[in-house]
Amino acid sequence: LRIAEVNPNCCSITLLSEQFSPNTTSDVAAGMLIPHTYPDTPIHVQKQWFKETFTYLFAICNSAEASEAGIHLVSGWQIFKNPSEAEVPFWSDVVLGFRPMSAAEMQKFPQHSHGQAFTTLKCDCPRYLLWLEKRLKANGVQIHTRKVTDLWELHNKYDIVVNCTGIGARQLVGDEQLFPVRGQVLKVHAPWVKNFIRDGDGLTYIYPGIDSVTLGGTREKENWCLSPDPDTTKDIFDRCCSLEPSLQRAQDIRVKVGLRPSRSAVRLQKEVLSQGGAKLLVVHNYGHGAGGFSVHRGTAEEAAHLVGECIAALQGSSSRAKL
Ligand SMILES: Cc1cc2nc3c(=O)[nH]c(=O)nc-3n(C[C@H](O)[C@H](O)[C@H](O)COP(=O)(O)OP(=O)(O)OC[C@H]3O[C@@H](n4cnc5c(N)ncnc54)[C@H](O)[C@@H]3O)c2cc1C
Ligand SMILES: O=C([O-])CC(=O)C(=O)O
């Protein structure tokens, strides 16, 4: 979408994907705007990505589109057992009203000693994905269901390939630095829960959305299994109930599993592939791990810029680039 917005009329865009909503990792995500740190990406870059994403979604949230796009504000608490873990994160001045929790607020969490209160944004992921798809179509993007097994399949038809395949990049481009971190969550009906609660260890969280509350979670490195595990479901439910006892009465429990496309740094770069005398321009944008929603607009901005550079490089050899 960002490519179409940044380069109007200078290219035609086709989106190829093996799966669409509701069958992607992005459909499983809680969609909370709370960044996760990529150890090999400079912090100022991550902060820029998060800021751009927050600003973009905040504007949608403040528009008539908010409910259709599934974007809303949510306030709550991140809590810690160990005070040394409760340091001020790099994103504290991007979210709204970040402050240490008061002693009175901490009374809600007798097992925890410190906490941070703030307001952030949440994407209701399937709604947001459908809204994006509608905007793609409005921008003239062609959409086809297709699995790509080799980027060279696309060579004769397209000038530039943008690779946003998430965990699929492990197979598609053989990236061994990319690994799955399996996450299981529950989506429950508990409309009385209005505040988010996140244990600072990142394992247990309660995120109220528009239609359901997301209860998490798990982080299982190199586990490729997409089937829900019933013991894990019980464990997640118990952990969440110990933070928010009213969840005992939650109904309509649905279980979802996703594979976070994890990497020490998001792969956001241009590559020129060569085979015989032929060249294929590729822009990679994958490896967003546990924080894809939190930085999606910022990384898209950078990817669209790289595509602009590829278009400039092609100018002269072709009048209208195809992606
Ligand atoms: C349980 C869980 C909770 C999460 N919660 C949050 C959260 O609260 N906040 C947050 O910021 N992030 C969260 N995330 C992380 C977030 O879900 C991911 O970072 C994000 O979804 C990655 O998006 P993506 O578009 O790269 O991958 P995907 O959503 O997997 O999309 C990749 C697309 O590429 C297609 N594809 C792959 N290979 C091929 C191929 N060879 N040919 C054609 N198409 C292909 C797929 O079909 C798919 O449509 C969570 C993740 C999980 C699992
Ligand atoms: O950690 C969180 O708060 C939610 C999340 O991004 C994940 O489970 O990957």
Domain boundaries, the chain: 2-322
Atom of ligand 1 nearest to the CA of 171: 41
pLDDT at residue 230 in the model: 98
Residue nearest to atom 4 of ligand 2 (CA): 30
Predicted pLDDT of residue 318: 55
- pLDDT tens digits, residue range 232-242? 999 999 999 99
The two three-digit tokens of residue 73, written as one number: 């504000």
Q: Tell me the pLDDT band of 145, cut-offs 50, 70 and 90.
A: very high
- pLDDT tens-digit readout, 181-227: 999 999 999 999 999 999 999 999 999 999 999 999 999 999 999 99
Question: For residues 103 and 117, what is the distance between their CA atoms, to the nearest angstrom?
Answer: 12
CATH superfamily of the domain spanning 2-322: D-Amino Acid Oxidase, subunit A, domain 2 (3.30.9.10)
pTM reported for the whole predicted model: 0.95
Measure the N-to-C terminal CA separation of the chain; round to a whole number of Å. 12
- Give the per-residue pLDDT at 208: 98
What is the ipTM metric for this complex? 0.98
CA of 315 to the centre of ligand 1 (A): 33
Mean pLDDT of the chain: 95
Q: What is the pLDDT of residue 134?
A: 97
Question: Quick check: 219 and 244 in contact, CB under 8 A?
Answer: no
260 CB near ligand 2 (under 6 Å): yes
Q: Whose CA is nearest to atom 24 of ligand 1?
A: 166
pLDDT in tens, 25-39: 999 999 999 999 999
Among protein residues, the one whose CA lies closest to atom 2 of ligand 2: 202
Out of 26, 36, 121, 218, mutate this one to test ligand 2's pocket (max ligand atoms within 8 Å of CB): namely 36
**Position with higher pLDDT, 7 vs 219:** 219
pLDDT of residue 140: 93
